[in-house]
């Protein structure tokens, strides 16, 4: 599946646009998405400062250099990106230009001023950007662009040609509100004049820096006023049952004075944010983006489940099951874990009563099993409630919670949300072999044989591999094709058909020939990898049909 380009725009400066983009990029990357952040605010750049402690190296080029590549007629432009270390995530930054000692290189300003954007477009820069855009969405799940403010040629590039969606950041004052809706209309009008088939923008209005800690009533009045003004922006994506004022409350980033000094990433410091912390709001923004502006009715009903679904959509769980037990049932839980592992279930222990369990922001296991003898402990109840809030899994699938109880347990005394579950029984004095088999069957409910959706994924992969041409537009694309082919092989090894489909779509995009028919021959080693994977895919297809 190709990626999505989202521009963060503000009509006025000083509204926290770059701050919001940087933190959103980090969240998405840590949740398992591949993210590219681009600093296109060329007259007042600074996105690199947010990532400065986490950069693999200072950026030695950027957007300005990309424009100069076109001016110099370079056929194979460099990526101009640098990796940001965000712990188990993929986040790359394309800065505005070269950075030395946290400052833009002295050559940046004259190089930026040499660029005549109107002249560039007359010379074919739009097509050049389309090629770069195709590369970005093939390599990344999300491309987040930090646009300059106001109305200008640069802003039009960022709001009209490049993005699939817009995030319009504004604050609670008339200077921002007077133009926030008009800017979205202007972007649509500019897009209509472009020779590219793209739909109308979906626009997320984001109310930023709202201080509701002291002047609560005034803050509520401005929030209500803002919702009335931006309501038209919700029309083409908000579920009709969800009111714009409720949605805007979810899309409000509060003002917290601590984070107003310097360029900071609170999402890395606030590990388990509460509703009054800024990372809580930023998680919601990132989740709406990750969910492709969809399923907003779930957000209205259960914000925690919505965020949890976005967080887990692009990753696999490390474990199938986590077993939670009070300490008196330690021996039984150990036996149950042993039996489940013998059956091929990836399982581990979660000892209720350990506060560290509740501090984890991620979920190590897809499902949760509660061992209960007589009654639920206080810590087990907290753990179960937390799991229930986050029980919506990837792509809307429901993560399961199981109750394994002793025969003497009065189930009517359990909390309501646990009474309605199916209960499995065990005897503490007997080894829980039968319970382990029941849990195995419930968890591994999908048949081992390949199903029709698997066959469809194999066919898509076969078609994509056959489309790899003998020549690619430039040598730099070999690396992207190689990464994608290896990603397909890894997905095949893991049996991840959704990922195989995604990588197959990526490969089709990367296989597009150069518009003038020229290119560089595909290396023999890469051609061999493609052929080897194609042979594996064909064997799977033949095995299925035979």
In whole angstroms, what is the distance from residue 135 CA to residue 124 CA?
18
**Are 176 and 15 in contact, with CB atoms under 8 Å apart?**
yes
Nearest to 148 by CA among 253, 17, 262, 260: 17
In whole angstroms, what is the distance from residue 486 CA to residue 536 CA?
13
Residues 463-515 pLDDT 10s: 889 888 888 877 778 888 999 999 998 888 777 787 888 888 888 888 876 65
Phi, psi of 173 (to 5 degrees): -155, 160
**Are 290 and 313 in contact, with CB atoms under 8 Å apart?**
yes
Fold of 4-313: Rossmann fold (3.40.50)
**Are 384 and 325 in contact, with CB atoms under 8 Å apart?**
no
pLDDT, one tens digit for every residue, the chain (546 residues): 578 999 999 988 889 999 999 999 999 999 989 999 999 999 999 999 999 999 999 999 999 999 999 999 998 899 999 999 987 678 999 999 999 998 999 999 999 999 998 899 899 999 999 999 999 999 999 999 999 887 665 657 888 889 999 999 999 988 888 888 888 888 878 777 777 767 778 999 999 999 888 788 898 999 999 999 999 999 989 999 999 999 999 999 999 999 989 899 999 999 888 888 999 999 999 999 999 999 899 899 889 989 988 887 655 677 889 999 888 888 888 889 988 988 888 999 885 545 454 444 456 888 999 999 888 888 888 888 878 766 655 444 567 889 999 888 888 888 888 887 878 988 888 888 889 988 988 887 643 334 455 777 888 888 889 888 888 877 778 888 999 999 998 888 777 787 888 888 888 888 876 655 567 888 888 989 999 999 888 877 775 554
In whole angstroms, what is the distance from residue 5 CA to residue 31 CA?
18
CATH number of 319-444: 3.40.50.10140
Nearest to 69 by CA among 128, 109, 133: 128
> What pLDDT sits at residue 390?
67
Tokens 């296991």: give the residue: 365
Question: Which pair of tokens denotes residue 489?
Answer: 């092989």
- Give residue limits of the domains in the chain: 4-313, 319-444, 453-544
In whole angstroms, what is the distance from residue 432 CA to residue 523 CA?
56
Nearest to 206 by CA among 242, 236, 165: 165
**Are 351 and 327 in contact, with CB atoms under 8 Å apart?**
yes
Question: Which pair of tokens denotes residue 307?
Answer: 């965020």
Nearest to 215 by CA among 184, 163, 255: 255
Question: Which pair of tokens denotes residue 4?
Answer: 């999505």
Do 4-313 and 319-444 share a fold?
yes
**Are 138 and 506 in contact, with CB atoms under 8 Å apart?**
yes
Q: Chain centroid to CA 538: how far? A: 32
Nearest to 428 by CA among 373, 489, 503: 373
**Are 289 and 142 in contact, with CB atoms under 8 Å apart?**
yes
Would you call 101 exposed, middle or buried from its count of C-beta atoms within 10 A (0-12, 13-18, 19+)? exposed
């Amino acid at each position: 599946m190709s990626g999505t380009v989202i521009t963060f725009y503000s009509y006025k400066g000083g509204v926290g646009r770059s701050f919001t983009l940087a933190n959103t990029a980090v969240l998405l990357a840590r949740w398992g998405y591949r993210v590219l952040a681009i600093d296109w605010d060329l007259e007042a750049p600074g996105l690199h400062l947010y990532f400065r402690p986490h950069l693999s190296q200072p950026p030695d080029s950027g957007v300005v250099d990309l424009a100069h590549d076109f001016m110099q007629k370079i056929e194979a432009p460099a990526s101009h990106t640098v990796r940001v270390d965000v712990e188990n995530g993929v986040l790359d930054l394309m800065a505005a230009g070269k950075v030395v000692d946290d400052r833009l290189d002295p050559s940046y300003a004259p190089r930026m001023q040499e660029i005549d954007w109107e002249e560039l477009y007359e010379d074919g820069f739009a097509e050049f950007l389309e090629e770069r855009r195709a590369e970005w969405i093939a390599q990344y799940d999300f491309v987040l662009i930090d646009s300059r403010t106001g109305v200008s040629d640069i802003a039009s590039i960022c709001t009209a040609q490049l993005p699939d969606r817009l995030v319009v950041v504004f604050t609670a004052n008339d200077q921002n509100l007077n133009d926030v809706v008009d800017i979205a209309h202007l972007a649509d009008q500019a897009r209509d004049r472009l020779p590219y088939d793209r739909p109308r923008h979906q626009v997320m209005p984001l109310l930023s820096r709202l201080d509701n800690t002291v002047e609560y009533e005034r803050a509520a009045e401005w929030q209500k006023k803002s919702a009335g003004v931006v309501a038209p922006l919700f029309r083409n994506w908000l579920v009709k049952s969800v009111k714009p004022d409720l949605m805007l409350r979810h899309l409000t980033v509060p003002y917290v004075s601590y984070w107003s000094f310097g360029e900071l990433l609170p999402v890395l410091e606030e590990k388990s944010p509460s509703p009054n912390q800024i990372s809580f709001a930023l998680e919601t923004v990132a989740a709406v983006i990750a969910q492709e502006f969809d399923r907003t009715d779930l957000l209205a009903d259960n914000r925690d489940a919505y965020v949890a679904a976005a967080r887990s959509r692009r990753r696999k769980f490390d474990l199938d099951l986590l077993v939670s037990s009070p300490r008196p049932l330690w021996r039984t839980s150990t036996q149950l874990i042993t039996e489940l592992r013998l059956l091929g279930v990836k399982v581990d222990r979660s000892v209720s009563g350990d506060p560290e369990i509740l501090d984890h922001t991620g979920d190590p296991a897809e499902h949760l099993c509660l061992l209960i003898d007589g009654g639920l402990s206080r810590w087990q109840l907290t753990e179960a409630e937390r799991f229930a809030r986050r029980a919506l899994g990837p792509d809307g699938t429901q993560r399961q919670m199981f109750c394994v109880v002793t025969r003497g347990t009065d189930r009517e005394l359990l909390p309501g949300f646990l009474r309605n579950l199916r209960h499995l029984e065990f005897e503490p004095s007997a080894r829980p072999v039968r319970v382990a088999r029941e849990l195995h069957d419930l968890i591994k409910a999908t048949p081992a044989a390949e199903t029709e959706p698997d066959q469809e994924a194999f066919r898509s992969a076969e078609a994509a591999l056959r489309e790899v041409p003998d020549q690619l537009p430039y040598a730099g694309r070999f690396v992207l094709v190689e990464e994608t082919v290896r990603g397909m092989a890894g997905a095949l090894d893991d049996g991840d058909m959704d990922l195989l489909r995604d990588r197959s779509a990526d490969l089709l995009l990367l296989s597009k020939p150069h518009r003038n028919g020229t290119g560089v021959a595909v290396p023999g080693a890469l051609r061999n990898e493609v052929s080897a994977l194609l042979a594996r895919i064909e064997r799977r297809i033949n095995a299925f049909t035979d």
